[in-house]
Structure formats: structure tokens, C-alpha cells
Amino acid sequence: MMGLTLHPMKEIKIVVQGDQLKFVTELLDRTGATGYTIINNVSGKGHHGFHEGHLLFNDTSSQVIVFTVVPDSKVEPILAGLGPLFNRHSGAMFVTDVAVSRREHFVGK
């Protein structure tokens, strides 16, 4: 990767039921995440068995994945905000180390 400098960040992937999507995106906005990606109608098997990705009734009845890339300093506030959600609802969260070339897109103002 000649000419590019990489900067360490954290990627957070959050898997929840569609009806929890608004809670997750509002939390990310409040904690200063500069953006996120949403993948709807996710299928998979986990602790609660197999989840089908197709829509049953509407987009809130299937699972979604929300992922964001943030500086390390924003991870703890996001985890603290997700704690009550995961105490009441099923879902999963993954935090991984990543590197980005355009740091200014992820740190906010």
C-alpha cells in the first residue's frame, strides 16, 4: 500500500432484531459515530436457533446488522449504551481491530 498511511480504529458489528434498529442508530449518533452501515434481512444460526432473513410481516420482524468504525475512545460509551438492550433482547455484538486510510472520516469534529 504505497502512499497510504493506516490508522488504528475499532469496528463494531451489532446484530439485533429489526425493531431495535432505531435504538442502535440513535445510540451511535449520540455517541459520535460518524456513520454506519445497515444490512437488513440477515439469516443465521445462534444461541436462539436459526433466524430466517426473509421478511415475515415487515422489516422490523427480521434481523439486521449495523456496523460502524470508531476511534477506541468511543467504544466504551457504545458498549455501555448497548448493555441494557442486550439485557432485555437477543442479539450479538463484535468488536474488532481495523485500520483505515482516511482517519478524518471516522473521528468526527
Judge whether residue 5 has pLDDT over 70: yes
User: Which residue has better confidence, 10 or 46?
Assistant: 10
Give bridge partners of residue 92 from the DSSP assignment. Answer: 15
pTM of the predicted protein model: 0.85
Spell out the domains of the chain, with CATH numbers in brackets: 7-107 (3.30.70.120)
Q: How confident is residue 71, by pLDDT bands cut at 50, 70 and 90?
A: very high
Judge whether residue 105 has pLDDT over 80: yes
Give bridge partners of residue 100 from the DSSP assignment. Answer: 7
Q: How far is CA 55 from CA 20, 37, 38, 93, in A?
A: 15, 19, 16, 22
pLDDT tens per residue, range 8-27: 999 999 999 999 999 999 99
Q: What letter does residue 87 receive in the DSSP assignment?
A: H
